[in-house]
Structure formats: structure tokens, C-alpha cells
Structure 1
Amino acid sequence: MARGLFAESGADLQLVGIRKEFPGFTAVEQLDLTVPAGTFFALLGPSGCGKTTTLRLVAGLEEPTSGRILLGGRDVTDTKPHRRPVNTVFQSYALFPHMTVLENVAFGLRRRGIDDPLGKARSALRLVELDALADRKPAQLSGGQQQRVALARAVVNRPALLLLDEPLGALDLKLRRQMQLELKSIQSEVGLTFVHVTHDQEEAMTMADTVAVMNRGRIEQIGSPEEVYELPRTAFVANFLGQSNLFPAVVREAGDDAVGADVAGHRILVPRSRAQRTEGTITLGVRPEKLLLLTEEPTPIAGINVLGPGRVTDVSFSGVSTQYLVEVPGAGTVIVFAQNLVFGPVVEPGADVWLSWRVEHGFGLADAPRGSALQQAHEALVGGAET
């Protein structure tokens, strides 16, 4: 389908100094954000972090306490919602039950007096591969099909910006994963600017060109999914986007290429380019899937960090991988994800093991140390009511 059929181009979105206060609390604090035109942008965070409030501010459903909202360079801060070139797809599909699928998609075009509303609606349904079901009523469709209709209805209006508010939350896991890929494909084809609000890290990583991780009304880190995952800046990001092992460490040496630190009596190296702090007490991290579980103490090798010995306290099978919890004296509980290449676990609870990882897989956070990895993971995942 020709990209120009639905939108000449998306528009960039700029939030400048946005602050939103409610009685008794501040939902969004001094938010500065730029979403380039034609990109798929994900705003990721736990319940209560302010992401849904941010989306409502962009849609015009809330007014900022201070700051400006620009769309395609035009200030829309004081523009009414229906006059903004913005459409929103919600988790609830909000389809008209008495109308056919085709009529649902054409509804907004008819109200605006757009020429050939049914023809444009059919083109939108072809885009989401539902043109064969155009004459059905919403009740005759599955949840995934209804979500596609809602998407077609939004896209057909040619918005400069499409907002997605947890749109896949009501779908089962298998269908949600399928829809993630389809949403990304549709965004690439129509060229609109998508801003997707979600608490689902996998959803954000799968679809977005850029991910912004939000916490307590602020953006903690922004970048490509790979960048934010592989090189988190804070403990919150490290544990909200996946899991991480975080160790308090004392810097002993800081060279041009690497920083050497003491972790529970072990010399651990991290590339200087991957360390946010290079002196004093710092937090070092490594992802669980980067670790190797060894049943014998390894011979020291350049470029390899070793921690241990430790004792396996728990083994959990999850299909693709097995999770091991290893208690290392002075370092706390370390999480290891091992791909299941053989039948059954490699080691059983109670076994003594060593852990190793390549120096280039480690990272150093901007945060000061704040307890164990498991505690920080818990803190990252605990949230209040959605705002």
C-alpha cells in the first residue's frame, strides 16, 4: 500500500519544560522530550510513573501546569483536543457495536466531510488485513481483530501523531506478540509518528526505534532499545528493562581503557567507556544472561571477570533458559540465566560454583550503591496507581 495514501508524513513532537501538578502530588516534572517525525517511540515505565499523564497532555485531555507542547513545530499547548492532528488508540477498542467494521472505520471521515470515506476505509482495512471482514459487526470479531479495526480507524484519519495507550494489554500473550510485529510493520508502512505508552518492557523493545524509561515523573534514560538495555545509566533502568546483577564496588584503579574495582575482595574490571563514575564507591552491573556458571575455579584469563565461589540456592526452569540464584559471600545473591542446551539443570541447589563474564559486558551506573540486586529489582517493579 502506498505510504502517501494515509499521511504525507508524520510530525515531530516536542515537549518543552512540561510539568503537571495534581492536588497533593506532581505527576510529571520538568519533562523535555523530542520525538522525531516518522519514528516509533515508546514511553516505558511502571504504574504511577507519569507516562499516561504525559500521553493525555499530548492528546489535549489534560492541560500542563507549565511548559509547551509542539507538534511539527507548531505550539498546540492551548489547542483543543479535536483540533490537534492527533489520534489515540486505547486498550479498550471503543467500537460502535451497531455499525459494521467498514462503517466504524469510515465514521470519523464522514463526520469531517472527507471525500470517498468508504473507499479510504477499505484501504485502511486492507492495511490491517481485515478487508474480508468489512461487513461484520465488532461482536463477531476476536479481540485481536477488534484492535486492528481500532487501529485502522485511527490511521485512516491521517493524524500527524498516533498515540497508543497500552493498546495490547487486553490480548493474550501469543496474540500480543503477533500484534507487536504487525504494529511495527504498519508504522513503517504508513510513516506516521507513533508514541506508545506501555509498562511492558518486551513490547517496548520489540516495536520501538527509541525507548524512554520514565520514573517518578522524569525520564531516567532515552535511547535505542539496544543502547538502553546494554548500557543502563541507573539502577532503576537496569532493573526495569530486564534484570541486572548490581554490586557495590570501590574503585582501585582508573586507566584510560578500564576501571578496576574491588567487589567482595575480587578485582572486577569494566570498560571506562561503560562506566558512569570512575572514583570512590560505585555500582557495577552485569546482565544475568552474560554470566557463565562454572563448577570449577577457572584459570585467570585477560578480559574475563571472575566472582566466587558461591553456592547455588535456587534453580528455576523456564523453558528456553534456567534461572540460577547463587549466593556469593560479600556480593549477595547473583542471578544467572543459562540457555537450556542440555536436558535438566547444569547444577543443583547446594552446589559450589564460580561466575565469569567478559569485561566488555559489564557496566557502571551513575547511582551510588543502594543494596542488593534483588532489592533494587523489587524497587524498580513496585508502583502505585497509574497516573
Structure 2
Amino acid sequence: MQLTLESISKKVGSETWLYDMSLSPQPGAVTVLLGATQSGKTSLMRVMAGLDAPTAGKVMVDGRDVTGQPVRQRNVAMVYQQFINYPSLTVRQNIASPLKLRGEKQIREQVQSLADKLHIGMFLDRLPAELSGGQQQRVALARALAKKAPLMLLDEPLVNLDYKLREALREELSQVFRSTDATVVYATTEPGEALLLGGYTAVLDQGRLLQYGPAAEVFHFPKSLRVARAFSDPPMNFFSAARVAGGVQLPGGLLVHGVLPGEAAHAQQAVTVGLRASALRLHAREGDQVLQGKVLLAEISGSDTYVHLSSGIGDVVAQIPGVHHFDIGAALTLHFSSSSIYVFDHDGGLVLAPPRAGEY
């Protein structure tokens, strides 16, 4: 199924919730709507589903205008943040409900297959209230998959689960989505989730669509500062800088050599330099830039250590693989390659991005 939004916008009273945007999620793939709270993700999904009509523009399905057609007349499956299941029905009956509505055969076998895929096969005869939050959300997901709708919309379905459950379900969902032919649209605030799940990512901010494309491409080549801020976790380090003869001049006098072509024509032009936390390293490589500072904070998250450093170019965050111990106030030297920096012009547009692996 090809869903196409043509120049849609949405106003509620005097407020604009969605500004003019066009979007065509890739059929049979996952498109992640990535953005902070109130960026417009839920409003956009409600327009896609038919729960709300756009103020302007058209919603097209396979070339047919369905603008204003209510959700009950569309073949759409939705999963919300809340664990929405039929409380008086068993897990088996919940998953079977869309299959029965379609008059399917071999319902028991289909239910068992979906339940096993989402690791809830042992709970089929229980009521939803007897399950944990993560198990209840798996039931809601299984029922949505059972509907076999050509369009599946998931609005931050893992946000109310604890960290370990989210990690487990992310892995499971990425496998489940690969096995479906549906067009899947998945809303999240987490860049890591977009990279894991998304074949495609649409970055939203304050009701505007900033960039849409293959997830890896949007991540590596954010077209603006706003996209780079939204698609970085931990946040990208940003510094005010200037294009000078020989490279880019950072605060504190640090000169990053030879990163921009044609610098003579743009001497002293103000730019913003971006440096991902993962680009900073403890160990030097040939030709590296050196960054010295003092440790403000060090925290372990999963298998990485996040170090907050006060340096001559400003406060920075480094993501160091492995578990390390750093004393607060201790001197620390980090290293990064000139080829790892991003440069944005005075309007916030991307001027330079690091080459991807294999492009050196």
C-alpha cells in the first residue's frame, strides 16, 4: 500500500500543529517519525489513520483520495503508548478478535504462531490484567499484527516500559517488522530506536518535517543543525567557530586543518562545528587533534562510559566504549580526527559531514 501525504497541514484553533509537509512512507518498510515531545508525531499519525482530517492538503492511498475518510472505513492497525486490550477477554481471545472478524480459518494456529513470535505463548489463557506491562504490550502488538492491515501505526509503544523491557522488545520488533509486508510507521523520541528499527526516518520538530530518507543517510548527513540535534544521542557537541585559511578555528585557538575546500573565499565566516560524542577517543591515532580538559562528570550507561569534560573549546561529552573510572576534576586528554567533524553555515545548513566507512 502506498500512503502519500500531499502538502498537508493541521491547525487547531489559532495554533498550527503541523506545517505544510509532504511525505510518502516506503511501502513494506518501517518509517520512523523521530522528534521530541510535541514535535507533531502523534498529530501526523492521527492524520495518517483518519482519526483527524488535515486542515489543508490531501491524504492519498494507492492514488485514491481518502482525505476525511474516518478510520473505521480504513484498514489500519494502531498500537499506542498505553496497553490497550480487551480486559474481559483472554490473551488468546484478544489476538483472535481481528481474525474472527475477517472469518479466517485455522485461527488457533495463527494465534499460537503470533504469540510464540512475541514470546507470550504461555499466557494465552490469562486475562490482560494478570500480565506485566511488557507482556500486555506484546498482546496489543500481536493483535495489531493479526489484523494484517496494510498500514500499521505505532505511537511510542515502548515508552511506558522499563529500560530492559524496551531493549528486549526493540530487538523483537525489528525482527517482526522484517517479516511483514505492511507499511509500518513508528513514532519515537529516541534516536537509537530510529537507527535500530527504521529503514527510513522522518525528523520532525515543532510541527515541521525537517528531513526524510533512509535512516543511516539522515543520521550521517543531517541537512541542518536542527536535524543533527534531533538525531543524536548523546547530544552532538556544538561549538561556534570560523572558517579561516587552512581550516576551521575553534574556541581556545584550536585549528582543525584542511577540512573545508575553498576556505580563502570564506575567510572568517562564522560557522558551527559539530562533533559526535562517539568521535572522541582516549587513544591517539596519526594526525589526530588533541583536546585537553578536566572531568566534570563520568557515568556508565550499558557498555559505554559517558564523560563530561570542561575544555578549552567548551564543555564536551565523550562516549567511550567500555567501563572506565574517571575522578571528578582529573585532567583528561581526548583525541579526534579532523575528518570526524560536521560544519554548519551561519543559517544552520550542512556544509561538511564526515565521510562514511569506505568513503575515505
Q: How far, CA to CA, are the matches of 1:105 and 1:156 in structure 2?
A: 7
- Please say which of residues 207-216 and 226-235 is displaced more in the overlay: 226-235
C-alpha distance in 2, partners of 1:72/1:287?
40
* 2-structure distance, mates of 1:131, 1:341: 37
SS across alignment from 1:64: coil
For residue 261 of structure 1, what is the aligned residue in structure 2?
248
User: How has the CA–CA distance of structure 1 residues 114 and 278 changed in structure 2, closer, same or farther, with 3 Å as cutoff?
Assistant: farther
Give percent identity, aligned residues only.
30
User: Is the 1:234–1:367 Cα contact (8 Å) retained in structure 2?
Assistant: no
Take 1:214 and 1:147, find their aligned partners in 2: how far apart are those partners? 25
Task: Check if 1:130 corresponds to 2:120.
Answer: yes
1:282 lines up with 2:271 in the alignment? yes
Q: Matches of 2:209 and 2:129 in 1, distance apart?
A: 40
Could you list the per-position Cα deviations for residues 60-79 of structure 1 after superposition, in whole angstroms to 9, with x for gaps in the alignment?
11110011122333322132
CA separation in 1, counterparts of 2:258 and 2:200? Answer: 26
TM-superposition CA deviations, 1:87-141 (whole Å, max 9, x none): 1011222211211112112223334545555554444334434344322221222
1:105 and 2:95 are equivalent in the alignment: yes
Superposed CA deviations along residues 220-263 of structure 1, whole A, max 9, x for unmatched, are: 2333443333333333332332111112121124xxxxx82211
Kindly indicate whether residue 13 of structure 2 is the aligned counterpart of residue 23 of structure 1.
Answer: yes
2:352 equivalent in structure 1: none
Question: By how many angstroms is 1:272 displaced?
Answer: 5.0
Q: Contact between 1:44 and 1:200, CA under 8 Å: does it hold in 2?
A: yes
Q: Please state whether the residue corresponding to 2:147 is helix, strand or coil.
A: coil
Q: Taking structure 1 as reference, are residues 292 and 106 closer, same or farther at Cα in structure 2, changes over 3 Å only?
A: closer
Distance in 1, Cα, partners of 2:197 & 2:225? 24
Secondary structure of the corresponding residue to residue 156 of structure 1: helix
- Say if 2:236 is the partner of 1:244: yes
Runs of 5+ consecutive residues of structure 2 not aligned to the other structure? 349-360
Matched, 1:332 2:320: no
User: Match of 2:85, SS?
Assistant: coil
Q: 2:79 aligns with which of 69, 89, 114?
A: 89
Distance 2:186 2:345 in 1: 27
With over 3 angstroms needed to count, the CA separation of the structure-2 counterparts of 1:252 and 1:336, relative to structure 1, is same
The verdict on how the C-alpha distance between 1:133 and 1:324 changes in structure 2, with shifts beyond 3 A counting, is closer
Q: Per the alignment, do residues 94 and 160 of structure 1 end up closer, same or farther by CA in structure 2, a change over 3 Å counting?
A: same
Instruction: State whether structure 2 residue 179 is matched by structure 1 residue 189.
Output: yes
Which amino acid counterpart does residue 324 of structure 1 have in structure 2? V
Per the alignment, in what secondary structure is the counterpart of residue 35 of structure 1? coil
Normalising to structure 1: TM-score of the pair?
A: 0.79
**Which residue pairs with 1:305 in the alignment?**
289
TM-superposed deviation, 1:270: 6.8
Question: Deviation at 1:46?
Answer: 0.8
Computed over aligned residues only, the root mean square deviation of the Cα atoms, in angstroms, reads: 2.8
1:192 Cα deviation after fit: 1.7
What code does the residue aligned with 1:268 have? V
Q: What is the number of residues matched between the two proteins? A: 341
In 1, Cα distance between equivalents of 2:121 and 2:328: 54
Report the CA distance between 1:203 and its aligned residue.
2.1
For the Cα contact (< 8 Å) 2:248–2:259, is it kept in 1? no
Q: How far apart are residue 301 of structure 1 and its match?
A: 5.4
Moved more, 278-287 or 62-71: 278-287
Deviation at residue 213 of structure 1 after TM alignment:
1.6
Summarize the Cα distance change of 1:93–1:334 in structure 2 as closer, same or farther, 3 Å threshold: closer
Q: What is the rounded CA distance, in whole Å, between the counterparts of 1:321 and 1:270 in structure 2?
A: 31
Q: TM-score, normalised by structure 2?
A: 0.85
* Amino acid corresponding to residue 267 of structure 1 in structure 2: L
Aligned partners of 1:324, 1:132: CA distance in 2, in Å? 43
Pick from 349, 360, 384 the counterpart of residue 329 of structure 2: 349
Say which of 330, 337, 345 aligns to 1:358.
337
Determine which structure has greater relative contact order: mean sequence separation of CA pairs < 8 Å that are 6+ residues apart, divided by chain length: 1
Instruction: Answer yes or no: is the 8 Å Cα contact 1:233–1:366 preserved in 2.
Output: no
Unaligned runs of 5+ in 1: 1-10, 254-258, 370-387
**57-66 vs 222-231, which deviates more?**
222-231
Greater shift after overlay, 212-221 or 128-137?
128-137
Residue aligning to 1:376:
none
Code of the aligned partner of 1:244: M
